[in-house]
């Protein structure tokens, strides 16, 4: 199962389900940029630091990751309409971020993600 998780994270470049940052080399310069850091901080402040999905469900959780709704790719990384646009951002807690990414990831045939976004063996 560990190999499956590593394969998933290396192909997609994001925080994996254990909270480990796996960043693609082409994304590193953007995420370290002053523009992204300023945008990220402004977005967090605009959402009062709370996870948007938890808040929508009546829960209060600190937002920890500014998520791009349209995932960044090598083609879009230089497009500020995608990378720095508040309409494409969402402040999420770790749990909500992991659930979002687990919905769209290819996984090995012998494992699956449960409704909480946890990796488990298929029955």
Query: Average pLDDT over the chain, rounded to whole?
Result: 78
- Give dist(CA 122, CA 109) in Å, integer: 8
- Give dist(CA 108, CA 110) in Å, integer: 6
> Which tens digits make up the pLDDT trace of 37-58?
999 999 999 999 999 999 999 9
Residue 6 clears pLDDT 50, i.e. is over it:
no
> Which tens digits make up the pLDDT trace of 66-91?
999 998 899 999 999 999 999 999 99
- Counting residues of the chain whose pLDDT is more than 70, the rounded percentage is 63
In the chain, where the domains are located: 2-121
Global pTM? 0.68
Assigned token pair, 60: 């209060």
């Amino acid at each position: 199962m560990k190999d499956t998780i590593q394969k998933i994270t290396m192909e997609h470049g994001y925080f994996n389900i254990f909270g480990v940052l796996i960043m693609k080399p082409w994304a590193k310069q953007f995420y370290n940029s002053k523009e992204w850091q300023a945008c990220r901080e402004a977005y967090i402040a605009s959402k009062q630091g709370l996870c948007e999905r938890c808040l929508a469900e009546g829960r209060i959780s600190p937002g920890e990751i500014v998520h791009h709704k349209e995932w960044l790719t090598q083609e879009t990384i230089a497009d500020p309409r995608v990378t720095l646009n508040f309409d494409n951002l969402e402040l999420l807690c770790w749990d909500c971020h992991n659930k979002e990414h687990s919905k769209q990831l290819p996984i090995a045939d012998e494992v699956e993600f449960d409704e909480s976004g946890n990796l488990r063996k298929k029955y």
